[in-house]
Amino acid sequence: MEPTVQFFSGFALSDMWFMAQAAWRTLVISVVSISLGTLLGAFFGWVLYEGKFWATAGLAAFLDVFRSVPLLIQLVLFFNLAPIVGLNLDAFASGVVVLTIYTAALVANVARGGLEAVGTPMRRAARSLGMSYWQALRHVVFPIGGRAVFPSWIGVALGVMKDSALVSVLGYVELLRASQILITRTQEPFLILAIAGAFYFALSFPVARYAEKLEQRWAIR
């Protein structure tokens, strides 16, 4: 009698470690993309607020493309078109590039809203104290405007962290991709997805709670 071939196996402790490693990869690609995208988006927001019409019109149209086209399509198109122009990027690098620009497109309007939240009288007051344009921007406009739009930025950051799951289509083994692999092997989708959801919650909840406490601290001041 021929031995039975075992295709499936139950969920094991090693699988939990595999998912934890995938959650770490999710955190890494999210932190890198959000950080770079926030810096780039703040610059874009400043250009949209201070720039001339010819500059802002082109930039606004460019950002609208990344805000309007689904992120999944952006990832697939970039990953397949990049080698044609000589960019041989792996799944992680491709995901970072697309997520960074996607984040910047979302943050740009948030940053512009923060700049608009600081009224002209406050800007003039800063200049009357002897500050240069850049000093007023650094010490007055950005701190006050940043506090005004901080909740919106947190929403963008948490959204991008969850959207990073789409990088799995490129073969990057983050949390969602790891869950798909384990579901195929264990045939336990409810258990695997529940654990994946718990990992996403563990990544997102501390950020949301810290942001809430930071807002309360600013409100007291």
| Domains in the chain with CATH codes | 13-220 (1.10.3720.10)
DSSP 171: T
Report percent pLDDT > 70 for the chain: 92
Given a cut of 70, is residue 221 above it in pLDDT? no
pLDDT of residue 4: 46
Estimate to the nearest angstrom the gap between the alpha carbon of 20 and the chain centroid: 20
User: What is the Cβ-side half-sphere exposure of residue 190, based on CA atoms within 13 angstroms?
Assistant: 0
Q: Which residue bears the tokens 């195929």?
A: 184
Q: What is the pLDDT of residues 153-195, one digit of tens each?
A: 999 999 999 899 899 888 888 888 888 888 888 888 888 889 8
- Mean pLDDT, the chain, integer: 85
Helix axes 53-68, 91-117, angle to 10 degrees: 130
This prediction's pTM: 0.86
Give mean pLDDT, residues 9-27.
Answer: 84
Give mean pLDDT, residues 9-26.
Answer: 84
Query: Do 111 and 46 form a contact (C-beta atoms < 8 A)?
Result: yes
Given a cut of 80, is residue 9 above it in pLDDT? no
User: Alpha-carbon distance 60 to 152, whole Å?
Assistant: 19
pLDDT of residue 54: 66
Query: Do 106 and 41 form a contact (C-beta atoms < 8 A)?
Result: yes
Q: What is the pLDDT of residues 82-136, one digit of tens each?
A: 888 888 888 999 999 999 999 999 999 898 888 888 877 777 787 787 788 788 8
80 burial (CB, 10 Å; 0-12 / 13-18 / 19+) is exposed
How close are the terminal C-alpha atoms of the chain, in Å? Answer: 79
Confidence of residue 27 (pLDDT cuts 50, 70, 90): very high
pLDDT of residue 122: 78
pLDDT of residue 34: 94
Confidence of residue 8 (pLDDT cuts 50, 70, 90): low
Given a cut of 50, is residue 2 above it in pLDDT? no
